[in-house]
C-alpha cells in the first residue's frame, strides 16, 4: 500500500497545468504466486497481480535446469536479462521507485531465456529472445515485433564471511518494433505522480539498441548500486540518442547487509538481527539511503526533456516479511519546474 503527497512549484504548473491529484493512495501490488521444482530439474512459477482494475500475469514460466552444455532454459513470461534494477524483486528494492532505466523498455516479456554460471558463479551469462508487448498506435498489433536481449556479469570480489561483493555487468537489447514506433516517458520518482518528460511517439523507427552498464558493491552494512543506459533509436534518415544514469547508496545502521541472490535474481530478503517487538524485543533493521539520477530525452528534433532527481529514504524492516518505507524525492525538469514527493509504503509478503 503506497501513499504520496505531491508538491509542485509554480513553474511546473505554469508549464504543465494543474496536477491531476496532489495526494494519492493506492494498492500498488497484491500478488499471489506458486513456484517449485519437479524431479530435480524442472522448475515452474505462476505469479498473478490483483492490484488495479484488472488481473495481470507477471512471472509465468516453466524451466529446465542442469542442461548439459547449456545450463538452464526458461520459457514463458519472464524478466528480460538486461538491467540489475529490474531483476531485483519489488519486495527488496531500496527505494519505492526503481531506477529510471526501467522505463526504456518492458521489464517482462513473453519469450525464452538460456542462462548459466561459470567459475564457481564468478561469471554469469544470459541470452533471450522475446515478443514485444504492443503499446503502439497501430490497431490490430497484439505484439510489436521482437527483441533479443543478452547480459554478462562478473564478481571480481566475493567474500561471504566479510559480506564483501563487487558485481559488474553489461547488457544489450536489440529491439525491432513492427509498428516502427518507439516512446520513452520517465516518472518523477513516484509511480503515483504524473510523468513530465517523454519523447512522444517517434515514427519510422527501424530498430532500437539499448546498452546498459551496471555495478553493485557491498561491504558489510554499506552498499552502492549504479547503472548507465544508452538508447540508440535508428530511423530512416539517422538516429537519436537518449540516456539515463543513477547511483544509490544505502547503509544499515543496525548492522545488517544486503543479500545478493545471484546475477539473474538481484537482491534478496533482508533479515533483521533482532525483529521488532515480540520475544526478541528488538528494533528490527533500519536502513538509510540516498539516490541521484539524471535522464536526457533530448536529441535533434526530439525534445523530450531533461530530468534531475535526488531521493532520500528510510526503510524499517520490522521482521523478514514486514517493511515500512519512507521516501522523499525532488525532481527538477530542466527549464520547466520542480516536483517534491513525500511518500510511504507498507509492505508484507509471506
Query: Could you tell me which residues come within 8 angstroms of residue 161 by beta carbon, excluding any fewer than 6 positions away?
Result: none
What is the predicted pLDDT for the residue at 138? 81
For residues 273-285, give the mean pLDDT.
Answer: 89
The Cα–Cα gap between 35 and 278 comes to 30
pLDDT in tens, 95-130: 999 999 999 999 999 999 999 999 999 999 999 999
What's the mean pLDDT in 326-348? 96
What is the Cα–Cα distance from 259 to 287, expressed in whole angstroms?
13
Task: Record the pTM.
Answer: 0.93
Rg (CA), the chain: 21
Any residues with CB less than 8 A from the CB of 338 and at least 6 apart, and which?
8, 9, 11, 12, 330, 331, 332
Query: Is the domain covering 2-348 a CATH 3.40.630.10 domain?
Result: no
Q: Report which of residues 51 and 84 the model is more confident about.
A: 84
Domain residue extents for the chain:
2-348
User: How long is the chain?
Assistant: 350
Torsion of CA 19, 185, 126, 96, to 10 degrees: -20
Amino acid at each position: 500500500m503506497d501513499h504520496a503527497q505531491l508538491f509542485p512549484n509554480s513553474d511546473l504548473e505554469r508549464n504543465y497545468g494543474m496536477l491531476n491529484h496532489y495526494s494519492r493512495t493506492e494498492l500498488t501490488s497484491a500478488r499471489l504466486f506458486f513456484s517449485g521444482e519437479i524431479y530435480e530439474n524442472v522448475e515452474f512459477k505462476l505469479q498473478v497481480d490483483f492490484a488495479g482494475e484488472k488481473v495481470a500475469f507477471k512471472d509465468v514460466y516453466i524451466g529446465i535446469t542442469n542442461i548439459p552444455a547449456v545450463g538452464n532454459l526458461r520459457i514463458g513470461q519472464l524478466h528480460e536479462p538486461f538491467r540489475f534494477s529490474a531483476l531485483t524483486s519489488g519486495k527488496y528494492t531500496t527505494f519505492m521507485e526503481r531506477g529510471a532505466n526501467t522505463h526504456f523498455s518492458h521489464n517482462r516479456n513473453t519469450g525464452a531465456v538460456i542462462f548459466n554460471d561459470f567459475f564457481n558463479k564468478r561469471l554469469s551469462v544470459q541470452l533471450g529472445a522475446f515478443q514485444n508487448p504492443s503499446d503502439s498506435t497501430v490497431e490490430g498489433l497484439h505484439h510489436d515485433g521482437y527483441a533479443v536481449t543478452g547480459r554478462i556479469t562478473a564478481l571480481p570480489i566475493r567474500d561471504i564471511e566479510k559480506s564483501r561483493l563487487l558485481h559488474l555487468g553489461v547488457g544489450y537489447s536489440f529491439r525491432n518494433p513492427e509498428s516502427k514506433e518507439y516512446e520513452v516517458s520517465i516518472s518523477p520518482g513516484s509511480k503515483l505522480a504524473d510523468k513530465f518528460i517523454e519523447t512522444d511517439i517517434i515514427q519510422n523507427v527501424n530498430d532500437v539498441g539499448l546498452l546498459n552498464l551496471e555495478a553493485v558493491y557491498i561491504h558489510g552494512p554499506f552498499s552502492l548500486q549504479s547503472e548507465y543506459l544508452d538508447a540508440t533509436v535508428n530511423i530512416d534518415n539517422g538516429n537519436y540518442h537518449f540516456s539515463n544514469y543513477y547511483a544509490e547508496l544505502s547503509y544499515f545502521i543496525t548492522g545488517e547487509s544486503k543479500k545478493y541472490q545471484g546475477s539473474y535474481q538481484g537482491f534478496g530478503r533482508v533479515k533483521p538481527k533482532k525483529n521488532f517487538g515480540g520475544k526478541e524485543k528488538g528494533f528490527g533493521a533500519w536502513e538509510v539511503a540516498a539516490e541521484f539520477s539524471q535522464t536526457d530525452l533530448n536529441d535533434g528534433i526530439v525534445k523530450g526533456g531533461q530530468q534531475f532527481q535526488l531521493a532520500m529514504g528510510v526503510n524499517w524492516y520490522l521482521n523478514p516479511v514486514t517493511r515500512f518505507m519512507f521516501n522523499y524525492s525532488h525532481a527538477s525538469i530542466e527549464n520547466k519546474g520542480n516536483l517534491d514527493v513525500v511518500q510511504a509504503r507498507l509492505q508484507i509478503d509471506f
